[in-house]
Copies of this chain bind each other. A is one copy, B any other.
């Protein structure tokens, strides 16, 4: 059984994941990247994953068989487990709790492709819809307080499988970084009577120099205090605290802005590894209506080393104004589109 453990000094919880149980010896072997012939995420390999939680699939096809175009399964090596109580205990100065939570894999294509820029717009919309479906379903479990959706791309981004996928970890705690964001947004609203993210969008539109793409409903830009070279945020132009409030017109626009942004990134620096995280309001708590949900894309071109790990501050060698200009000037390229792009079937 894994455990949640709290650092006794700061508000930092750690999952001690005994199910992944790495021993010292395990680190000496290099894990080779999986090849497509034994990829557990490809259509036809459904039995290589735990039983599916949900899939958008053709009518008449059975669970865990071919016929799907987006599919969600439990992580085979989950960091958290869904069973058990989420009750904090302590021994001396140390607090801990059962490793309760959910850890799921969203398979973003039935073909062995690696990136969102190889997908049709319609397929990217389907990915967003299934993110929303999982967010709405998981919050029925009142033990869960936060749903972290994220995507790791490339080995430097922490992806252990090449096949395009995102992940979801639902936690019985509101993470420290989210609490900080909520506090920052509330403090700003109390002081100025407006939303800091809405005000940022206004300023980005006025100053133009960090803007990457402006769609009808979403804006992508390099944040003023970018931690990473080419860090890019995608933010809804309308104030919305909960990602799951997203409407159909917004899904269409987000699919387009997200795909175009990632295409620019991947074309500018070939196959740049990145992490993309979706920050939304906590669930099963009083609504944090001051929150403004958004996506953060963090390319992994620099290492977080002693300074970053010691201080929580970052050194970024590329000013966001230069990053945004380079991204604006980069073509959107959709590699091997013809070869891989299948007709997208509709969710019925």
A residues with a Cβ closer than 8 A to B are: 5-18, 20-24, 27-28, 79, 92-94, 146, 148, 150-152, 156-159, 167, 169, 171, 173, 175-178, 180-181, 183-185, 188, 196-197, 199-200, 203, 207, 223-227, 229-230, 268-270, 272, 275-279, 296, 298, 301, 303-307, 309-320, 322-323, 326
Contact = CB atoms under 8 A, between A and B. Distances in A.
A9 B293 CA distance: 12
Given A8-B184, A93-B196, A312 B14 contact: no
Given A16-B319, A156-B303, A304-B304, A312 B22 contact: no
A216 to B, nearest CB: 23
A93 B199 contact: yes
Q: Name, among A23, A24, A158, A326, the residue most crowded by chain B CB atoms within 10 Å (CB to CB).
A: A24
B157 A8 contact: no
A320 B18 CA distance: 11
A310 to B, nearest CB: 3
B301 A225 contact: no
Contacts of A23: 318, 322, 326
Given A22-B318, A167-B306, A177-B311, 20 more contacts: A7-B224, A8-B196, A8-B200, A8-B225, A10-B177, A17-B316, A23-B322, A27-B269, A93-B196, A93-B200, A94-B225, A146-B311, A150-B309, A175-B312, A176-B311, A177-B313, A178-B311, A180-B312, A277-B309, A278-B310
A306 B5 contact: no
- When all copies of this chain in the complex are counted, the total is 2
Contact of A94 (B15, B203, B272): B203
Contacts of A181: 9-10
